[in-house]
Amino acid sequence: MSAFTAGIERWGELLRALTNARPGSPDFQPTLQSFGVELEAWLRATHPFAAAAAGADPTGRMAELLSDWGRLQSQLAGHWSTVARAATEKFSAQVGALAADGGLGDPRKVFARWIDCAEEAYAETAHSEAFARLVADVTNTAVALQLEGRRLVEERSRAAGMPTRHEIDVLTQRIEQLERELQARTKTKPRRSGKPRAKGKRRQ
Amino acid sequence: MTTVCSTEVVWQKDKAVLYRYLPLASVKSARVRPVLISYALVNRPDVLDLQPDRSLVRRLLAAGLDVYLLDWGRPDESDRELELSDYIEGYLDGAIRYVLKTRRMLSINLLGVCQGGTLSLCYCALHPKRVANLVTMVTPVDFHTPADLLSKWARHLDTEALRQAGNLSGAVLTGVFLSLRPFRLMVQKYVELLDRHDDRDALETFCRMEKWIFDSPDQAATAFAQYLRGFYQENRLVRGALEIAGARVDLRNISQPVLNIYARQDHIVPPAASTALRDHVGSADYTELPVDTGHIGMYVSQRTQATVATAIASWLIERRSSSRD
């Protein structure tokens, strides 16, 4: 939350600086570039895919997975840089038109245009095959870390004679299967014929 | 489930609950078969009855329809082995059979929303005689269209590992949805709120939407893995390769009237993902209704709700004498 609010405050400062600056003045371009810098920082700190894995036992498989995780996060950071750069380029290209029709003095218009540029740049990356594969690798590695952590815990639980997740899963599977079989039998159960019983005879 | 309109619980199985909405006072019945709403598993259905002036359900009731809604519940780890077949053949079928039995009918109207629409299509293809008319809203059918970002991200996921890891946290799924448009959904939306800081009604509506967005239920591990693999990765529904409980799902079995409503600016279910239905159903009475809104706007935009609810009600009333019974 603090990264989020800090980001908003910083963008507010940049918007004020940009609306007060004039195109062509010495501080105009650096101010524009600052938008890209802040965007990249926001993505690193706030994007859901950039969340860090839980701590784990750094031995063997776990160490290997953590190393993979670090490598993948670096690749992800590379994509955030690409998005920030592309967003800044698009925004720079459009800010001239904004200035020409007097829109630069309206922070709302400037911000809306900045968001449009950011989303457009993000979409170019997000739809790419490289990013899609990276998202899958990040997710698969996070899941593998979770499973490896659980395996380590299960080893210790088994040694202590305690029930494990795996044993509970197997039991649950059996119960679910029994319920499905029961449901299937209930649905296909033949209806009673409704024929009246002969007099004097009792149902056993 | 939080509702604005009054409801009664009429059927329950495990965590799935079937609600019947009580008719509105002084509204004349449209005398059509009951409508059962099947919502997505990935969000709570409360959004369909969010507040008095933003309630698709209320508008359907006001049109004289008899409305049921199936709430799938909130899975916990005891539900991790639930399969898609349990949702379709267990809960949805159980709820529909209950309505048919208690209302002494052979078929009902089914309204499937988003993933709930996909599940409804599967159900309809497997049990066509039990559905008189089918309405789908923002429903993905073809999961491999070019604009489908979720599909691209899902393509290389290890679904077996995901299944083993247990139920998928609702918070994680919410993060994924927000990642589709991070700047609009995680920044701009809040900045624009400043313009409405003195509008209490707007602020309350915003807060209700926020509560819904961040109230996603966890997903049962096995069913979620099956959905990812069967639909997003292998696109089996439109390839005719999907099986539920051993039975093949053939969309050509859907011969009853179909109304397919989709959002033109839908970034979660791109229009092409929904309109693909027209090339696969066997129905001779197939209608599409495009709406100028986004995925969420379809449920909560006041302007859209008026259009959509009226369209659904009119379409069903026109077909009230369907020969299913």
Mutate to test the interface with B, among A169, A170, A186, A188 (most CBs of B within 10 A): A169
Residue B213 has pLDDT above 70, yes or no: yes
What's the pLDDT score for residue A2?
65
Using a CB-CB distance cutoff of 8 angstroms, which residues of chain B are in contact with residue A123? 149
Give the one of B81, B162, B245 whose C-beta lies nearest to A176's C-beta: B81
Give the one of A4, A127, A183 whose C-beta lies nearest to B152's C-beta: A127
Q: How far is B252 from chain A (nearest CA, A)?
A: 25
What is the rounded CA–CA span in Å between residue B266 and residue B160? Answer: 29
User: DSSP assignment of B14-54, as one string?
Assistant: TTEEEEEEPPPTTPPP-----EEEE--SSS-GGGGEEETTE
Q: φ, ψ for residue B42 (rounded to 5)?
A: -85, -10
Per-residue pLDDT of B121-160, as tens digits, reads 999 999 999 999 999 999 999 999 999 999 999 999 999 9
pLDDT band at residue A3 under the 50/70/90 scheme: low
What's the pLDDT score for residue A188?
63
Please give the share of chain B, as a percent, with pLDDT higher than 90: 91
Give the one of A119, A127, A173 whose C-beta lies nearest to B183's C-beta: A119
Cβ distance A8 to B191 less than 8 Å, yes or no, reads yes
Looking at the DSSP assignment, which residues form a beta bridge with residue B134?
A: B110, B258
Q: Which residue of A has its CA nearest to B86?
A: A180
Average pLDDT for A13-30: 82
State the average pLDDT for chain B.
Answer: 95
Q: Which of A5-9, A160-164, B36-40, B233-237 has the lowest mean pLDDT?
A: A5-9
Mutate to test the interface with A, among B81, B93, B163, B168 (most CBs of A within 10 A): B81
Residue A55 has pLDDT above 60, yes or no: no
* Length of chain B counted residue by residue: 325
What's the pLDDT score for residue A119?
97
Give the one of A7, A115, A147 whose C-beta lies nearest to B165's C-beta: A147
Cβ distance A180 to B86 less than 8 Å, yes or no, reads yes
Looking at the DSSP assignment, which residues form a beta bridge with residue B289?
A: B261
Per-residue pLDDT of A184-196, as tens digits, reads 888 765 545 444 4
* Length of chain A counted residue by residue: 204
pLDDT band at residue A49 under the 50/70/90 scheme: confident
Q: Which residue of A has its CA nearest to B87?
A: A180
Average pLDDT for A79-86: 96
Residues of B annotated as catalytic are: 114
What's the pLDDT score for residue A190?
52
What's the pLDDT score for residue B45?
96
Using a CB-CB distance cutoff of 8 angstroms, which residues of chain B are in contact with residue A129? 152
State the average pLDDT for chain A.
Answer: 82
Helices and strands counted in chain B (H then E) = 15, 12
What is the rounded CA–CA span in Å between residue A141 and residue A139? Answer: 5
Residues of chain B that touch chain A, judged by Cβ-Cβ distance less than 8 Å: 78, 80-83, 85-86, 89-90, 149, 152-158, 161-162, 164-165, 172, 175-176, 178-184, 186-188, 190-191, 195, 245
Q: How far is B21 from chain A (nearest CA, A)?
A: 28
Using a CB-CB distance cutoff of 8 angstroms, which residues of chain B are in contact with residue A91? none
User: DSSP assignment of B244-292, as one string?
Assistant: ETTEE--GGG--S-EEEEEETT-SSS-HHHHHGGGGT---SSEEEEEES
What's the pLDDT score for residue A53?
36
Cβ distance A140 to B176 less than 8 Å, yes or no, reads no
Cβ distance A172 to B81 less than 8 Å, yes or no, reads yes
Nearest to B183 by CA among A145, A47, A170: A47
Average pLDDT for B45-59: 93
Average pLDDT for A190-204: 45
Between A167 and A86, whose confidence is greater?
A: A86
- Tell me the CB-side half-sphere exposure of residue B225, using CA atoms within 13 A: 18
What's the pLDDT score for residue A189?
55
Average pLDDT for B12-24: 96
Q: How far is B95 from chain A (nearest CA, A)?
A: 14
Which one-letter amino acid corresponds to residue A72? Answer: L
Evaluate if pTM is beyond 0.90: no
Residue A204 has pLDDT above 60, yes or no: no
What's the pLDDT score for residue A203?
38
Q: φ, ψ for residue B264 (rounded to 5)?
A: -65, -30
